[in-house]
Amino acid sequence: MTFSAEGRDNCVVIAGTPYVYATVGGRGFVMRARCPHRGGPLHLAGVAEDGVRLVCPWHERKTSVARMRAEVPAVRVGGRVTAVFPERPAAGGWPAPPQDCAVGLEHRPLAPALSRPSRAG
């Protein structure tokens, strides 16, 4: 699936689960826009002081950036991102979306900590 890295249509929604392109520590990746804890708006998260975890704006639960980077393989070229959404969940990860599911595009604002320019990737 290819979508915009920022601005209009920067969020792909697959079977009701939103995904956005984010940047932490100068490295970009596609992540679920909902916190695994209680579904908080993770696209509005802050970055923990250690720089390796996102902090949910609802309950301040911390989620590993490395874990999120590993979930959805993606490549950014210019302003577009191409992501490969898994057919099966990773061990211990969130469930993958069903193969026959609705796909749409939306706009989700990103927290400033997640929208800094990235290097390639």
Q: Is the dihedral of CA 20, 104, 34, 37 positive or negative?
A: negative
User: Which of left, alpha, beta for 60 (phi over 0: left; psi -120 to 50: alpha)?
Assistant: left
Cα 116–chain centre separation: 14
**Residue 63 or residue 38, greater confidence:** 63
Query: What would the pLDDT profile of 8-47 be if each residue is shown by its tens digit?
Result: 999 999 888 899 999 998 899 999 999 887 889 999 999 9
Q: What is the pLDDT of residue 119?
A: 47
Encode pLDDT of 74-121 as tens digits: 999 999 999 998 765 555 555 555 555 678 888 888 898 898 664 444
Give the strand pairing for 11-14 and 103-106: antiparallel
For the chain, domains (ranges, CATH) are 2-106 (2.102.10)
Phi-psi label, residue 78: left if phi above 0, alpha if psi -120 to 50, beta otherwise: left
